[in-house]
Amino acid sequence: MLQPISSTIASHGRWLVGPGTVSQAAAPVRLGRGNPAPTAGFPPWLRRWRPPGKNSLHQIVGVLAVILLLLVLQDAFEVMLLPRRVERRRRLMGVYFRLAWQAWSRLANKLSGDRRRESMLSHFGPLSMIGLFALWAVVLIIGFGTLEWSLQPQVRAVGGLAPWIEQVYMSGVTFFTLGYGDVVPHTDLARLVAVIEAGMGIGFIAIVIGYLPVLYQLFSRREAHLIQLDARAGSPPTAVAMLCRHAEAGGLAKLDELLREWEVWSAELLESHLSYPMLAYYRSQHDNQSWLAALIAIMDCCALILIGVKDLQPLQARMTFGMARQVVVEMARSLQSAPSRYDGGDRLSPEAFDLMLAHFAEARLEWDGGPDAQSILQALRSTYEPLMDGLARHLLLTLPGWLPDEHATDHSAQGHRGLLARRLIEELVNRDSVGSEGNFTDATNTWRKLRRQLRRK
């Protein structure tokens, strides 16, 4: 009776070399002076090294998956739950928005026409938030799936799928709490991780649902003040229009209250946009309005009041200017926007400065800046205009000038009989001043022309 091959080899001390061949097993080699160890000349740490086995590879991958999960969870916590600015410069959210904005702005700049470009740029804010949420969810699902794969090294593929793909699939089903049950964890630690992931998925969805209303509430509060600025400073808003309109209506003393409101608005803007930096990419309802344009118009107005506008106390202008400049500095730091080499020449040239004084005289606004007013204003502008221009270049926004555009029309003066409504309001406001000067003939002729226009409409 034939003995098994294994017993035959064991009894005769032979090894299989090839199919049907047997050779004598080599005698064990004893290490000594004549037979040094192959790793005798290597460093101690290299002599102790062994190639990683399958279990070691799973452990390394598991540690990397945990690190990835912690990084994503930290970033999501800082964006959605932490109500303060994060000083760390390297963040997943920051890298994401920087790369996404660069790609999106390049595509927008290739479009022909300002309206098409602005329309595309206005979609970046909402779409970038959806992309950020999707990125977090995908990375969390992959991280948990990789961790599950590392905790179950003996699980074999089911249905022809690779084990890692199968675990990522189970992670996605668990994260969104679908619970099909076709793939389940097989170890106690893997089951614990699945339970943690299911709870984290429910919490993530709940936080996202509660996060979006808060974000849009802050956006609406920011835009409400911008809409009110249309009648007070025009669209786009300018400092000269703001001062002249208040002076013509006899409400120059009300500017202190207005600047006080904008000081509060600046503080709210600073708090909300530092906690939620993505709000800076949300654009306003109209192309010629933006939070940056409103901010620089308010700062320009404060600068004029501080230098030479008579009959106005400089205290409130000083406070509002300081608060607004803090917003500019902090937002430039948050968006990593460097100040440009902008000298402000195209915003207020020497000819434009003389034209500004002519607007003041026409509106009966007393200017007492002295002979050095232009040089002082230039020095004051240099403290904030380079930062504002750097932010405008980064966000692809247009900064308004100091003087109102003659061809621009306020949004309140548009639509059916919009210009007529504007003329009527202006004449009603100036009626008392016209009557006090005795120009009754001109006033009567003006009202007759307006009545004729109204009948034609």
Task: State percent of the chain over pLDDT 90.
Answer: 42
What are residue 22's phi and psi, to 5 degrees?
-135, 140
Report, as an integer, the average pLDDT of 252-281: 92
Whole-model pTM? 0.76
Q: Could you tell me if 261 and 400 lie in one domain?
A: yes
d(CA 384, CA 299): 9
Q: Could you tell me if 387 and 422 lie in one domain?
A: no
CB within 8 A of 84, min separation 6: which ones?
A: 274, 275
Query: Residue 60 has which token pair?
Result: 């390394």
> In the chain, what are the helix, strand and coil shares in percent, each to the nearest 5?
65, 0, 30
Least confident of 15-29, 238-252, 281-295: 15-29
Query: Residue 109 has which token pair?
Result: 């700049």
Report, as an integer, the average pLDDT of 179-200: 89
- Which structural domain, as residue segments, surrounds residue 422? 418-456
| Span 62-75, pLDDT tens digits | 899 999 999 999 99
Residue 110 pLDDT > 80? yes
Per-residue model confidence (pLDDT) at position 115? 86
Angle at 119 between CA 114 and CA 123, to 5 degrees: 145
Q: Could you tell me if 394 and 245 lie in one domain?
A: yes
Is 432 part of a structural domain of the chain?
Answer: yes
Query: Residue 193 has which token pair?
Result: 């991780």
Q: Could you tell me if 173 and 131 lie in one domain?
A: yes
Q: Could you tell me if 68 and 168 lie in one domain?
A: yes
- Work out the angle between the directed axes of helices 239-248 and 188-233 (0-180°, nearest 10): 50
Q: Could you tell me if 164 and 236 lie in one domain?
A: no
Is 267 part of a structural domain of the chain?
Answer: yes
Per-residue model confidence (pLDDT) at position 50? 47
367: three-class secondary structure by DSSP = strand
Asked whether the bond before 28 is cis by omega within 30 degrees of 0, the reply is: no
Is 199 part of a structural domain of the chain?
Answer: no
Q: Could you tell me if 269 and 317 lie in one domain?
A: yes
Report, as an integer, the average pLDDT of 175-196: 88
CB within 8 A of 347, min separation 6: which ones?
A: 381, 385, 399, 401, 402
Query: Residue holding tokens 């086995």?
Result: 53
Q: Could you tell me if 66 and 156 lie in one domain?
A: yes
Is 78 part of a structural domain of the chain?
Answer: yes
| Cβ atoms of residues 342 and 389 within 8 Å | yes
Q: Could you tell me if 236 and 156 lie in one domain?
A: no
Residue 42 pLDDT > 70? no
Report, as an integer, the average pLDDT of 390-417: 83
Of the three residues 167, 186, 205, the one that is the final residue of a domain is: 186
Residue 252 pLDDT > 90? no
Q: Could you tell me if 338 and 268 lie in one domain?
A: yes
Least confident of 254-263, 363-372, 388-397: 363-372
What distances in angstroms separate CA 220 from CA 18, 86, 260, 271, one per listed residue?
A: 81, 24, 20, 15
Nearest residue to 125 via CA among 322, 279, 21:
279
Is 250 part of a structural domain of the chain?
Answer: yes
Strand partners, 21: 18
What are residue 309's phi and psi, to 5 degrees?
-80, 120
- H or E stretch covering 335: none
Query: Residue holding tokens 């943690």?
Result: 196
Is 316 part of a structural domain of the chain?
Answer: yes
In the DSSP assignment, the letter for residue 309 is B
d(CA 141, CA 162): 16
294 or 91: which leads in pLDDT: 294
d(CA 445, CA 455): 16
Is 95 part of a structural domain of the chain?
Answer: yes
Residue 136 pLDDT > 90? yes
Chain length of the chain: 457
Q: Could you tell me if 156 and 119 lie in one domain?
A: yes
Query: Residue 144 has which token pair?
Result: 């948990």
Nearest residue to 244 via CA among 389, 86, 370, 362:
362
Residue 47 pLDDT > 70? no
| CB atoms closer than 10 angstroms to residue 328 | 25
Q: Could you tell me if 176 and 220 lie in one domain?
A: no
Per-residue model confidence (pLDDT) at position 449? 63
Residue 200 pLDDT > 50? yes
Tally of structural domains, the chain = 3
| Span 288-297, pLDDT tens digits | 889 999 999 9
452 or 240: which leads in pLDDT: 240
What distances in angstroms separate CA 129 from CA 58, 322, 380, 424, one per listed residue?
A: 34, 32, 37, 45
| Span 422-440, pLDDT tens digits | 667 666 666 655 444 445 4
Burial of 1: CB neighbours in 10 Å, binned 0-12, 13-18, 19+? exposed
| Span 376-398, pLDDT tens digits | 998 999 999 999 999 999 999 99
Nearest residue to 407 via CA among 187, 228, 234:
234
Per-residue model confidence (pLDDT) at position 254? 87
Q: Across the chain, what does the average pLDDT equal?
A: 80
Query: Residue 454 has which token pair?
Result: 């109204």
Is 12 part of a structural domain of the chain?
Answer: no
d(CA 183, CA 231): 63
Query: Residue 179 has which token pair?
Result: 């619970």
